[in-house]
Structure 1
Amino acid sequence: MKYLKNILTIVVLILVPEFLFSQIKPLDAELTNYQYPFKVYFLDVKSQNNDLKMAYMDVQPKESNGKTIMLLHGKNFNGAYWGKTAKDLSDKGFRVVIPDQIGFGKSSKPQNYQFSFSQLAENTKAVLDHLNIDKAIVLGHSMGGMVATRFTLLYPERVEKLILENPIGLEDYKTFAAYQTIDQAYQSELKNTAESYKNYQLTFYYDNKWKPEYQPWLDLIAGWTLHPDYPKVAWDAALTSDMIYNQPVCYEFKNIKVPTLLIIGTRDRTAIGKDRTPKELQPKMGQYQLLGKKTQQEIRGSKLVELENVGHLPHIEVYDKFWNALYGFIR
Structure 2
Amino acid sequence: MCRKALTVILVIINLSIVSAQDTLSITLENVKYPYPVKFMPIHIENQDIRMAYMDVTPANPNGKTVMLFHGKNFGGYYWTNVIKWLSAKGYRVVVPDQVGFGKSSKPFIHYSFHQLARFNKQLLDTLGIKQIVLLGHSMGGMLATRFTLMYPQHVQKLLLEDPIGLEDYRTFVPYNSAADDYKKELQTSYQSIKKYYETSYFVKWKPEYDYLVKIAASVNKSADFPRYAMVAALTFEMIYEQPVCYEFGLIKVPTVLFIGKEDKTIVGKALLSDEEKTKHGQYRLLGPQTAKKIPNCKLIEFDNCGHIPHIEVPDKFLKALGESID
Normalised TM-score (structure 2):
0.92
Mapping of 1:175-214 within 5 angstroms? 175-207=171-203, 209-214=204-209
1:49 positional shift? 1.8
d(CA) in 2 for partners of 1:277 and 1:87? 39
d(CA) in 2 for partners of 1:185 and 1:169? 18
1:274, 1:285 within 8 Å by CA — same for their partners in 2?
no
> Which residue of 2 is the match for residue 308 of structure 1?
303
1:32 aligns with 2:24: no
> Which residue of 2 is the match for residue 258 of structure 1?
253
Alignment gaps of 5+ in structure 2: 1-19
> Which residue of 2 is the match for residue 5 of structure 1?
none
* Worse-matched range after superposition: 93-102 or 30-39: 30-39
Match of 1:116 among 107, 112, 115: 112
Question: SS of 2:170's equivalent?
Answer: helix
> Which residue of 1 is the match for residue 215 of structure 2?
220
Deviation sequence 1:87-116 (CA, Å, 0-9, x none): 1100100000000000000000002x0000
Match of 1:288 among 263, 283, 294: 283
1:127 aligns with 2:123: yes
1:95 aligns with 2:121: no
Identity of aligned residues (%): 52
d(CA) in 1 for partners of 2:22 and 2:114? 34
Deviation sequence 1:261-308 (CA, Å, 0-9, x none): 000001000011222234432211101001100110001110000001
d(CA) in 1 for partners of 2:265 and 2:175? 17
1:58 positional shift? 0.1
**Matched residue type, 1:245:** Y
> Which residue of 2 is the match for residue 240 of structure 1?
235
1:29 positional shift? 1.2
Question: SS of 1:268's equivalent?
Answer: coil
d(CA) in 2 for partners of 1:132 and 1:283? 46
> Which residue of 2 is the match for residue 270 of structure 1?
265
Moved over 6 A (4+): none
**Matched residue type, 1:322:** F
> Which residue of 1 is the match for residue 39 of structure 2?
42
d(CA) in 2 for partners of 1:294 and 1:247? 20
**Matched residue type, 1:187:** K
d(CA) in 2 for partners of 1:49 and 1:322? 42
What is the aligned length? 307
d(CA) in 2 for partners of 1:203 and 1:153? 32
1:48 positional shift? 1.9
1:142 positional shift? 0.3
**Matched residue type, 1:159:** V
Bigger radius of gyration among the two: 1
d(CA) in 1 for partners of 2:275 and 2:191? 27
Question: SS of 1:42's equivalent?
Answer: strand
d(CA) in 1 for partners of 2:155 and 2:46? 29
Name the Cα RMSD after superposition: 1.1
d(CA) in 1 for partners of 2:324 and 2:21? 37
1:24 positional shift? 7.3
> Which residue of 1 is the match for residue 146 of structure 2?
150
1:61 aligns with 2:81: no
**Matched residue type, 1:286:** G
> Which residue of 1 is the match for residue 69 of structure 2?
72
d(CA) in 1 for partners of 2:73 and 2:164? 12
**Matched residue type, 1:189:** E
Normalised TM-score (structure 1):
0.91
Alignment gaps of 5+ in structure 1: 1-22
1:149, 1:249 within 8 Å by CA — same for their partners in 2?
yes
1:35 positional shift? 1.1
d(CA) in 2 for partners of 1:233 and 1:153? 29
Match of 1:52 among 41, 49, 52: 49
> Which residue of 1 is the match for residue 8 of structure 2?
none
1:292, 1:304 within 8 Å by CA — same for their partners in 2?
yes
Deviation sequence 1:20-49 (CA, Å, 0-9, x none): xxx772100111111100000000011122
Question: SS of 1:303's equivalent?
Answer: strand
